Structure 1
């Protein structure tokens, strides 16, 4: 049974608290082209730190493409705030407290802690592009911290998608 969201289908619901005390809801987003949801493992992950710092440096490019970004994890408020501050993330919101059921609805893999600094359970990474109408255009789901889409390449890909009106792919369910 396929529990992953399907391209061109509705994106799963997503409403989370942000580190600034406000609420972020996918339903309320109105980007020009896409909402990019970067789901990361959490504060314990040095690969996530590097990835979000890269997103930070590319924020202007994504803004020019009409893409709004949000970073999401299962971390608690304290860990999410620490990540945002220590990693210097100030160009996009950081959401925290994603529940296991939400992670699974997005098709994410879950892992149990193998080190003391890791939370008991956390999601593995995923990157999603959601259209302004709430449908999914692109999904990349990883079972480990490695092998995520290169964010510079992703910006180029989004530019291509927008210029050529390139449709979502992977829409055939088995």
Structure 2
């Protein structure tokens, strides 16, 4: 299905990024990723068989909605991402737009992307990446908390972000640096989780073909 995997795209990006920021800052981020992998998936994270929680969300134009309203009783793929500032998120969402959306539409399923950033941030990534699916804001990570997947950058990583000219808290709707682990959930028409893939290392993501196989396992919606 994919000509270039997300993993390969990320590897290619990292080569240039690390050369650009230098060994010291690259080492900070590598250390953060190592710590995240060592800590593993949070004990309270929801998984296959659990009922998907609900929470109030905001559309890219600031209108109030919810996960259940966005799903509308159909099979849905819910993607938690960190924000428009995250290059790994941008690579992933662009790939999903190009390769996953057509496959999901053939199957009567939909894609919903959720982050704690402001609606303005959701609108920016929607426009910049020409996304043709719901991109919703989760103020204060209420939905991500329900799924049990909230984290935040380490103090060293935030200091490195500052050196690079940004702060996660400036992008988030609640002015904190709390973000979800990049995660993909396939939720069936009854609102139950049928596939869960949580990435504690934010440089890795769920490939398109994995998601399509999970949706196919449900039968066409």
Task: Provide the TM-score with structure 2 as the length reference.
Answer: 0.65
The 2-side partners of 1:133 and 1:153 are apart by 21
Q: 1:4 aligns with which of 26, 31, 45?
A: 45
Contact residue 72 and residue 98 of structure 1 kept, 8 A: no
TM-superposed CA distance for 1:104, in Å, is: 2.6
Q: Where is the strand percentage greater, Structure 1 or Structure 2?
A: 1
Cα–Cα, structure 1 residues 103 and 153, in superposed 2: closer, same or farther, change >3 Å?
closer
Higher Cα Rg: structure 1 or 2? 2
TM-superposed CA distance for 1:37, in Å, is: 0.6
* CA displacement, residues 69-110 of structure 1 (integer Å, 9 cap, x when unaligned): 111001112222211111221x10110134234323212141
Q: Answer with 118-127 or 36-45: which moved more.
A: 118-127
| Residue 161 of structure 2 corresponds to residue 119 of structure 1 | no
Task: Provide the TM-score with structure 1 as the length reference.
Answer: 0.81
| Residue 184 of structure 2 corresponds to residue 156 of structure 1 | no
Cα–Cα, structure 1 residues 149 and 4, in superposed 2: closer, same or farther, change >3 Å?
same
The 1-side partners of 2:94 and 2:105 are apart by 16
Q: Following superposition of structure 1 onto structure 2, how do residues 69-148 of structure 1 map, counting pairs within 5 Å?
A: 69-89=111-131, 91-112=132-153, 114=158, 115-116=161-162, 117-120=166-169, 121=177, 122-148=179-205
What residue number does 1:172 align with? none
SS at match of 1:19: coil
Q: 1:46 aligns with which of 80, 87, 96?
A: 87
Unaligned runs of 5+ in 1: 164-174
Cα–Cα, structure 1 residues 118 and 87, in superposed 2: closer, same or farther, change >3 Å?
farther
Cα–Cα, structure 1 residues 148 and 12, in superposed 2: closer, same or farther, change >3 Å?
same
* CA displacement, residues 16-49 of structure 1 (integer Å, 9 cap, x when unaligned): 11103333322232354x2111110101111100
The 1-side partners of 2:148 and 2:218 are apart by 25
Contact residue 38 and residue 71 of structure 1 kept, 8 A: yes
Q: Where is the helix percentage greater, Structure 1 or Structure 2?
A: 2
How large is the RMSD of aligned CA atoms in angstroms? 2.2
